Amino acid sequence: MKLSFAAAALTGSLLPAVALGQPSARLVTAKPESKQARYARLDQYAQHLPASQAITLEKLAVSLTAQARTDDDKARLIFTWLAYHIAYDATLSVGDTTHYYRRCMPEYVLQNRKAVCQGYADLFTDLATRMKLPARTITGYARTSADTGNLLSLGNGHGWNGYQIAGVWHLADATWGAGGTLNTNEFQQQFEPFWFDTPPAQFIFSHLPDSASWQLLPIPVTVAAYQTWPYVAPEWFSLASGEGMRKALPTSAKPANRLPLIKRGSYGVKLIQAPQSGELVANQPVKFVFSVPTGVEMSIVTDSSSVPLRVAGNYWQATITPVAGAIRVLVQRKDDFTTAINLLTYTIVPQPLRPRPASPGRAPSPNKEVYLRP
């Protein structure tokens, strides 16, 4: 139970009326609607759909279908409507067998506008079926940044959806698309479109289905590997692909150290090499390498200095030896210094009491560090 109306776009062509004997007007063709613009239009419609259009499941399905031109439209409309109109019910426990299943039924969720993950997923499946969109409720386990230890515990039980378009299955989590709960278990609505049509190679870092076939991956991830991965925030996929992150993470018998903290907004920067652990050992040099687009610059900032990344071949890189405090990887646009973002943040920990002595006459090598190299 874990916890991200505009008018239709003009299509075709217009031929303005002209008087007899006048030269013909030039044909004007409307620009194709982009996927981003289409989703924005559908999201507005679903968000502001009047309550009178969602009195019953059938009426809601008809109202959403009226705005859909494709199966992808249908799935997006269902996802967004759930995100904006159903609140997470933090008071309902899976152990409450007296009320749990009744309060997860689509009719109950629609009338009360509250649900846990099972309710969100089953309502998605119900609406999709009525809208002739193949869909399934998927059960399994999910993890957030707060989860440690056994990730397959009852508290990590979760439900989400698969839906099919042109014979291909896609994944969505309407519960997480709706927002999350605060420390007080109070639900905070916040639309998170990342959880719609999330690529399976990214989805697997936080969602492990009971059936490996619902991973939708060519080679399924094992339960043992999933248990050893660190938490991977969605923001990482602006820097690296899901496939790259999967190859970069170790498959040791023990859980990996947490990744550095990451913030949204990379200005097109791509990760080539950076320390994997969010904790760096003092006096041990580390190397950073990124692919940096034109108009963007990066620097490594410590509590006492700032080291810019320099061009080396096709990439930008810097090597730094941390002393204490923290290291922040700063990215910003060259023409606007107000855009600076602390993209990655590392904390510095003291060296072990008995560090291994370096070879005589040889400086420590940054290659001793374990790196992410997606």
In the chain, where the domains are located: 1-12+25-230, 260-374
The per-residue pLDDT for 276 is: 93
CA–CA gap between residue 161 and residue 136 (Å, rounded): 6
- Please give the pLDDT value at position 96: 67
**Torsion region of 219: left, alpha or beta (phi above 0 gives left; psi -120 to 50 gives alpha):** beta
User: How many residues are there in the chain?
Assistant: 374
**Spatial separation of the C-alpha atoms in residues 46 and 173, rounded to whole Å:** 17
117 secondary structure, DSSP code: H
| The pLDDT of residue 363 | 60
pLDDT at position 193, please?
Answer: 97
Q: How far apart are CA 374 and CA 356, in angstroms?
A: 29
Give the pLDDT score at 360: 58
SS (H, E, C) 227-278: HHCCCCCHHHHHCCCHHHHHHHCCCCCCCCCCCCEECCCCCCCEEEEEECCC
Would the pTM count as exceeding 0.75?
yes
Q: Does domain 1-12+25-230 have CATH number 3.10.620?
A: yes
Is 338 in a helix, a strand, or coil? strand
Q: Quick one: pLDDT at residue 155?
A: 76
Give CA–CA dist 288/308, Å, rounded.
11
Residues of the chain with pLDDT under 50: 4-21
pLDDT at residue 26 in the model:
60
CATH code: domain 260-374 is: 2.60.40.10
